[in-house]
């Protein structure tokens, strides 16, 4: 099975923000998912993820990064995972899905 961005994003939905209790995909924290061939194993891909935080000093940042790496690394077709924190563009509540807004009571 080919590794796709949708597959990676579905796995990332397992990562829950410990302060908001909503997954990081629905919160709009995942900006970009890219793949590169792994140099050591042709059957696997390296995954590079650009994500942001709800604020520059988010105390949950290290936990969210570690959990993201853990769930994506568990995918059979993945060799290595790199998570890069980006703050541009800045996160706003407009980045959230309707489901996330509903969970947080934001209308």
Q: Beta-carbon neighbour count of residue 29 at 10 Å? A: 25
pTM of the complete model beyond 0.85: yes
pLDDT at 1 over 70: no
The tens digit of pLDDT for each residue in 91-106 reads 999 999 999 999 999 8
The tens digit of pLDDT for each residue in 45-71 reads 999 999 999 988 889 999 999 999 999
> Who contacts 74 (Cβ-Cβ below 8 Å, separation ≥6)?
11
- CATH topology for 5-92? GMP Synthetase; Chain A, domain 3 (3.30.300)
Q: Per mean pLDDT, which range of 6-10, 24-28, 43-47, 102-106 is the poorest? A: 102-106
* 60 and 4 Cβ atoms separated by less than 8 Å: no
């Amino acid at each position: 099975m080919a590794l796709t961005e949708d597959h990676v994003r579905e796995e990332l939905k397992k990562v829950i923000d410990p302060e908001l209790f909503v997954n990081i995909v629905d919160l709009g924290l995942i900006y970009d998912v890219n793949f590169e061939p792994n140099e050591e194993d042709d059957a696997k891909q390296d995954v590079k993820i650009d994500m942001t935080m709800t604020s520059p000093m988010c105390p949950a940042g290290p936990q969210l990064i570690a959990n993201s790496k853990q769930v994506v690394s568990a995918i059979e077709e993945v060799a290595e995972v790199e998570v890069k924190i980006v703050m541009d563009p800045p996160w706003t509540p407009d980045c959230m899905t309707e489901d996330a807004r509903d969970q947080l009571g934001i209308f």
